[in-house]
């Protein structure tokens, strides 16, 4: 997707469907004249209107028949959302009106905007950098409040500012090794090298700190994956239904009822929990069940949190203890749930598990309060890093940060080995390049394509 900014682009910016209002956007050098071709404002032509003004009027079709009464917002370049002339038409929602307005814009010379193209233009015109543009995508895709807040912090530009400072430090360092380091004066060299080492250590520390937040960033963005595991008939599916508050999965007294993984989202305190019901783990009866059990084990091993459900009447069996032990050894947080407490009240003093009756919880959500508390408590450290971080790190950021860190490690090793300054600067430049790719100081079309294609059309 090349930034062909000479075109004027148009799209409906709001979601398709029945709604009170919709917004159609237009951006580019011809935006105002294209809108004037169809808009009859009560205060005259948009071409004569000052920037940042609103205008009420009728939108006409090609034969001059009114399509809708609309409010038009006018923003002239460069103080507009994209940095170009922008016209935003607020019209009635639904399937027909926005589509007819858009069709008229195309007839008058606009072309359909590609996904993310408005934001891409804002990037091209320096309104925001690449990391901030990605934050816009994260805001649009946020499924709960806390992911949204983290993306909002990134849009603030704190991540970009931090990267800018890192690049400044390294650029200074690079100039020093390329130009000023005088190897004839050994005392001076020693002092400079000490300083450079300190700068390197500090930069690497900052980068490694950011990278260490990556997992928690992806949990915040994609939700906490909570796998409900246990033996057949432990009550896993009943528990899932109680948690989501409706009869989502099949429950029966027949062992081996659940075969495949079933995922259902639950929002708690602004965080999405992706609940996964699984097949009961036992010696499989048939091939399909065996596959279900294999999937259940895999899911538990890759879960962010495992809710391990056992029958309180039977207690935790030896082979179950082993499964739980193995998960915990692999640093998988496990919440033990003693179910069917209505049949076998367990002493709460045990403390190492949550005792509930999933069956009672289906009718009385209060039964779930201790379990929900345990879930929140277990999830808190998983997302804390991302909430303290200026960035909602994505795979692209992580790859660049890691490459920068590796290059800086090579510089450190080379310095220790007494490699001359001009050779050190090669890897320093690699690190600068990698950091520059994150905010888009350095970029290429492939990167832009992959960043902006994540957006919706109209954004």
Ligand X SMILES: Nc1nc2c(ncn2[C@@H]2O[C@H](COP(=O)(O)OP(=O)(O)OP(=O)(O)O)[C@@H](O)[C@H]2O)c(=O)[nH]1
Task: Looking at 177-278, list the stretches that DSSP marks H as alpha helix, in order from N- to C-terminal side.
Answer: 186-212, 214-222, 236-244
CB-based closest residue to ligand X: 280
Instruction: Give min distance, CB of 339 to ligand X, in A.
Output: 5
Tokens of residue 215, six digits: 């997992």
Among Mg ion, ligand X, none, what does residue 27 contact (CB within 5–8 Å per kind)?
Answer: none
- Taking phi over 0 as left and psi of -120 to 50 as alpha, with beta for the rest, 387 belongs to alpha
Nearer to ligand X, 312 or 391 (CB): 312
Residue 154's closest CA among 401, 432, 388, 396?
A: 388
Show the site string, 77-106: x = touches Mg ion by CB under 5 A, - = not.
Answer: ------------------------------
Among Mg ion, ligand X, none, what does residue 233 contact (CB within 5–8 Å per kind)?
Answer: ligand X
How long, in residues, is the chain?
A: 459
Interior/surface letters 9-28, b for 16+ CB within 10 angstroms, e for the rest:
bbbbbbeeeeeeebbbbbbb
Nearer to Mg ion, 218 or 237 (CB): 237
Residue 292 touching ligand X (CB under 6 A): no
Nearer to ligand X, 274 or 359 (CB): 359
Candidate residues 220, 358, 407, 431; the one interacting with ligand X per rule CB under 6 A: 358
Show the site string, 265-284: x = touches ligand X by CB under 6 A, - = not.
Answer: --------------xx----
Report the chain's terminal Cα–Cα distance, integer Å.
15
The residue whose two tokens read 């990556």 is 214
Nearer to Mg ion, 220 or 371 (CB): 371
Residues 252-271 that bind Mg ion (CB under 5 A): 257-258
Residue 339 touching Mg ion (CB under 5 A): no
- What DSSP string describes 294-363? HHHHHHHHH-SEEEEEEETTT---HHHHHHHHHHHHTT--EEEEEE-TTTS---GGG-SSEE--HHHHHH
Nearer to ligand X, 255 or 265 (CB): 255
Q: Which stretch binds ligand X (CB under 6 A): 25-33, 65-73, 121-129, 235-243?
A: 235-243
Q: Which stretch binds ligand X (CB under 6 A): 8-16, 38-46, 62-70, 232-240?
A: 232-240
Instruction: Give min distance, CB of 326 to ligand X, in A.
Output: 19
Candidate residues 257, 370, 402, 443; the one interacting with ligand X per rule CB under 6 A: 257
With vertex at residue 457, the alpha carbon angle to CA 215 and CA 149, rounded to the nearest 5 degrees, is 35
CB 67 within 8 A of CB 100: yes
Tokens of residue 39, six digits: 């808009």
With vertex at residue 59, the alpha carbon angle to CA 53 and CA 60, rounded to the nearest 5 degrees, is 145
Residue 173's closest CA among 206, 198, 190?
A: 198
Residue 105's closest CA among 123, 120, 86?
A: 86
Nearer to Mg ion, 152 or 257 (CB): 257
Helix-then-strand count for the chain, H and E? 16, 13
Instruction: Give min distance, CB of 312 to ligand X, in A.
Output: 8
Residue 311: strand pairing partners: 339
Distance CA 124, CA 134 (A): 14
Candidate residues 108, 119, 218, 258; the one interacting with ligand X per rule CB under 6 A: 258
Residue 70: strand pairing partners: 57
Nearer to ligand X, 253 or 446 (CB): 253
Q: Which stretch binds ligand X (CB under 6 A): 28-36, 298-306, 351-359, 372-380?
A: 351-359
Instruction: Give min distance, CB of 315 to ligand X, in A.
Output: 15
Candidate residues 122, 251, 275, 327; the one interacting with ligand X per rule CB under 6 A: 251
Instruction: Give min distance, CB of 233 to Mg ion, in A.
Output: 8
Distance CA 352, CA 245 (A): 26
Residue 314 touching ligand X (CB under 6 A): no
Candidate residues 14, 154, 233, 237; the one interacting with Mg ion per rule CB under 5 A: 237
Instruction: Give min distance, CB of 367 to ligand X, in A.
Output: 9
Show the site string, 327-346: x = touches ligand X by CB under 6 A, - = not.
Answer: ------------xx-xx---
Residue 238's closest CA among 373, 367, 426, 91?
A: 367
Instruction: Give min distance, CB of 277 to Mg ion, in A.
Output: 6
Residue 232 touching ligand X (CB under 6 A): yes
User: Would you tell me which residues interact with Mg ion (CB under 5 A)?
Assistant: 236-237, 257-258
User: Would you tell me which residues interact with ligand X (CB under 6 A)?
Assistant: 230, 232-238, 251-253, 255-258, 279-280, 339-340, 342-343, 357-359
């Amino acid at each position: 997707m090349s930034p062909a900014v000479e075109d004027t682009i148009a799209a409906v910016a709001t979601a398709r469907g029945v709604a009170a209002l919709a917004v159609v956007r237009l951006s580019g050098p011809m935006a105002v004249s294209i809108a004037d071709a169809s808009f009859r404002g009560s205060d005259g032509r948009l071409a004569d209107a000052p920037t940042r003004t609103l205008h009420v009027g009728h939108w006409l079709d090609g034969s001059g028949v009114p399509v809708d009464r609309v409010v038009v917002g006018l923003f002239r370049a460069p103080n507009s959302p994209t940095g170009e002339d922008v016209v935003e038409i607020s019209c009635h929602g639904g399937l027909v009106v926005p589509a007819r307005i858009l069709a008229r814009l195309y007839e008058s010379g606009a072309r359909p905007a590609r996904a993310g193209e408005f934001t891409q233009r804002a990037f091209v015109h320096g309104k925001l950098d690449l990391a901030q543009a990605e934050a816009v995508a994260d805001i649009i895709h946020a499924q709960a409040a806390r992911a949204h807040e983290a993306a909002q912090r990134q849009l603030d530009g704190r991540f970009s500012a931090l990267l800018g400072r890192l690049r400044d430090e390294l650029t200074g360092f690079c100039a020093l090794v390329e130009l000023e380091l005088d190897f004839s004066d050994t005392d001076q060299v020693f002092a400079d090298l000490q300083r450079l080492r300190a700068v390197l250590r500090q930069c690497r520390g900052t980068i490694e700190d950011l990278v260490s937040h990556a997992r928690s960033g992806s949990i915040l963005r994609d939700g906490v994956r909570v796998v409900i595991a246990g033996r057949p008939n432990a009550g896993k599916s009943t528990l899932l239904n109680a948690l989501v508050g409706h009869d989502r999965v099949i429950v029966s007294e027949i062992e081996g009822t659940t075969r495949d993984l079933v995922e259902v989202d639950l929002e708690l305190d602004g965080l999405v929990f992706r609940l996964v019901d699984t097949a009961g783990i036992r010696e499989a009866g048939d091939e399909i069940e065996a596959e279900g059990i294999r999937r259940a084990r895999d899911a538990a091993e890759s879960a962010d949190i495992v809710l391990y459900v056992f029958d309180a009447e039977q207690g935790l069996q030896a082979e179950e203890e082993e499964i739980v032990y193995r998960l915990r050894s692999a640093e998988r947080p496990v919440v033990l749930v003693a179910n069917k407490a209505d049949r076998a009240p367990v002493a709460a003093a045990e403390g190492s598990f949550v005792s509930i009756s999933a069956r009672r919880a289906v009718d009385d959500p209060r039964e779930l309060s201790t379990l929900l508390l345990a879930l929140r408590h277990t999830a808190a450290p998983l997302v804390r890093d991302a909430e303290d971080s200026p960035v909602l790190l994505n795979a692209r950021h992580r790859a660049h940060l890691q490459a920068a860190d590796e290059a800086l490690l090579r510089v450190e090793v080379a310095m220790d080995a007494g490699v001359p300054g001009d050779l050190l600067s090669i890897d320093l430049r690699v690190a600068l390049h990698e950091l520059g790719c994150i905010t888009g100081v350095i970029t290429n079309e492939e990167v832009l394509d992959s960043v902006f294609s994540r957006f919706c059309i109209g954004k």
